[in-house]
Amino acid sequence: MGLMALNRLISRQREQKQKRNRGRIEANNGWLASSLAKRNRSPCQQDVNSHGGKKVRYPGPDLPEDIWRHIHFLLPMQDAARAACISQSFRSSWKCYPNLTFTNETMCSKEDLCKRTTGSNVIRDYNNKIDHVLRNHSGAGVKKLRLEYYVIPHDAEPYHHLTSWLQIAVTPGIEQLHLTLSPRDATFNFPCMLLSEICHGSIQYLHLANLDLHPTFQLGLRTLKTLHLYNVHITGDELGCLLSHSFALAHLRLQYCHDIIRLEIPCLLQRLRFLEVLECSLEVLEINAPNISRFRLMDFNVQLSFGKSRKMKNLMLNNSCGISYAIDNLPSCAPKVETLTIHSSYEVINAPVASSKFRHLKILIIYLLGLHSHRDYDYLSLVSLFDASPLLEKFVLFVSPVQSKYDWFEGDLSSLRQMSEHRHHNLKNVKISGFCPQKSMVELARHILENATSLECLTLDTTPISYRCSGDILDRKCPPLETAYIRDAYKSILAVRTYIEGKVNSTVKLNLLGPCSRCYAL
Gap between the Cα atoms of 372 and 346, Å rounded: 6
366 CB-contact burial (10 Å; exposed 0-12 / middle 13-18 / buried 19+): buried
Of these ranges, 118-127, 322-331, 397-406, the one predicted with the greatest mean pLDDT is 322-331
CA distances (Å), 214 to each of 52, 83, 221, 240, 252, in order? Answer: 54, 41, 15, 11, 18
Gap between the Cα atoms of 117 and 113, Å rounded: 9
Give the residue extent of every domain in the chain.
59-94
Worst-scoring range by mean pLDDT, 358-367, 441-450, 474-483, 509-518? 474-483
pLDDT at residue 32 in the model = 39
Is the confidence at residue 217, as pLDDT, over 90? no
Q: In 430-505, which ranges are continuous DSSP H helix?
A: 439-451, 483-499
Strands 54-55 and 50-51: antiparallel
| Start-to-end C-alpha separation, the chain | 82
pLDDT at residue 277 in the model = 94
| H or E segment to which residue 368 belongs | strand 363-368
Mean pLDDT value across residues 167-182: 92
Is the confidence at residue 46, as pLDDT, over 60? no
Question: How is the chain split among helix, strand and coil, in percent rounded to 5?
Answer: 35, 20, 45
Q: In 3D, which of 145, 136, 138, 109 has the Cα closest to residue 125?
A: 109
What torsion do the CA atoms of 229, 230, 233, 235 make, to the nearest 10 degrees? Answer: 50
Gap between the Cα atoms of 276 and 249, Å rounded: 13
Gap between the Cα atoms of 306 and 264, Å rounded: 10
Residue 115: φ, ψ to 5°: -105, 15
Q: Which amino acid makes up residue 452?
A: A
As a whole number of angstroms, the longest Cα–Cα distance in the chain is: 102
Question: 278 versus 218: which is more confidently predicted?
Answer: 278
Worst-scoring range by mean pLDDT, 98-107, 187-196, 334-343? 98-107
Mean pLDDT value across residues 159-181: 91
pLDDT at residue 152 in the model = 84
Mean pLDDT value across residues 388-399: 94
Is the confidence at residue 69, as pLDDT, over 70? no
Question: 11 versus 305: which is more confidently predicted?
Answer: 305
Instruction: Find how far residue 520's CA is from the centre of its chain.
Output: 30
Instruction: Find how far residue 481's CA is from the centre of its chain.
Output: 26
pLDDT at residue 354 in the model = 78
Gap between the Cα atoms of 95 and 89, Å rounded: 11
Count CB atoms within 10 A of the CB of residue 126: 22
Question: 107 versus 251: which is more confidently predicted?
Answer: 251
Gyration radius of the chain over CA positions: 33
Instruction: Give 310-323 pLDDT, tens digit per residue.
Output: 778 999 988 778 88
Q: Residue 139 contacts by C-beta under 8 Å, 6 or more apart in sequence?
A: 168, 169, 171
Residue 23 φ/ψ region, left for φ over 0, alpha for ψ in the -120 to 50 degree band, beta for the rest? alpha
Of these ranges, 351-355, 396-400, 429-433, 481-485, the one predicted with the greatest mean pLDDT is 429-433
Residue 336 φ/ψ region, left for φ over 0, alpha for ψ in the -120 to 50 degree band, beta for the rest? alpha
Gap between the Cα atoms of 439 and 409, Å rounded: 5
User: pLDDT band at 59, cuts 50/70/90?
Assistant: very low
Question: 63 versus 160: which is more confidently predicted?
Answer: 160
Q: Residue 517 contacts by C-beta under 8 Å, 6 or more apart in sequence?
A: none
Instruction: Find how far residue 51's CA is from the centre of its chain.
Output: 46
Gap between the Cα atoms of 493 and 508, Å rounded: 18
Side-chain half-sphere CA neighbours of 47 within 13 A: 20
Is the confidence at residue 52, as pLDDT, over 50? no
pLDDT at residue 214 in the model = 94
pLDDT at residue 196 in the model = 83
Is the confidence at residue 6, as pLDDT, over 70? no
Percent of the chain with pLDDT over 90: 34
Question: 109 versus 401: which is more confidently predicted?
Answer: 401
User: pLDDT band at 480, cuts 50/70/90?
Assistant: confident
pLDDT at residue 40 in the model = 43
Instruction: Give 262-303 pLDDT, tens digit per residue.
Output: 999 989 999 999 999 999 989 999 898 989 989 998 877 788
pLDDT at residue 61 in the model = 54
> Crossing angle, helix 439-451 and helix 483-499, to 10 degrees?
40
Is the confidence at residue 259, as pLDDT, over 80? yes
Contact status, residue 106 vs residue 78, Cβ threshold 8 Å: yes
User: pLDDT band at 41, cuts 50/70/90?
Assistant: very low
Count CB atoms within 10 A of the CB of residue 312: 22
pLDDT at residue 37 in the model = 44
Contact status, residue 485 vs residue 401, Cβ threshold 8 Å: yes
Is the confidence at residue 67, as pLDDT, over 90? no
Q: Residue 466 contacts by C-beta under 8 Å, 6 or more apart in sequence?
A: 398, 433, 479
394 CB-contact burial (10 Å; exposed 0-12 / middle 13-18 / buried 19+): middle
Q: In 338-418, which ranges are continuous DSSP H helix?
A: 383-387
Gap between the Cα atoms of 64 and 68, Å rounded: 7
Cα three-residue angle 128-120-178, rounded to 5 degrees: 55
User: pLDDT band at 88, cuts 50/70/90?
Assistant: low
Gap between the Cα atoms of 464 and 102, Å rounded: 40
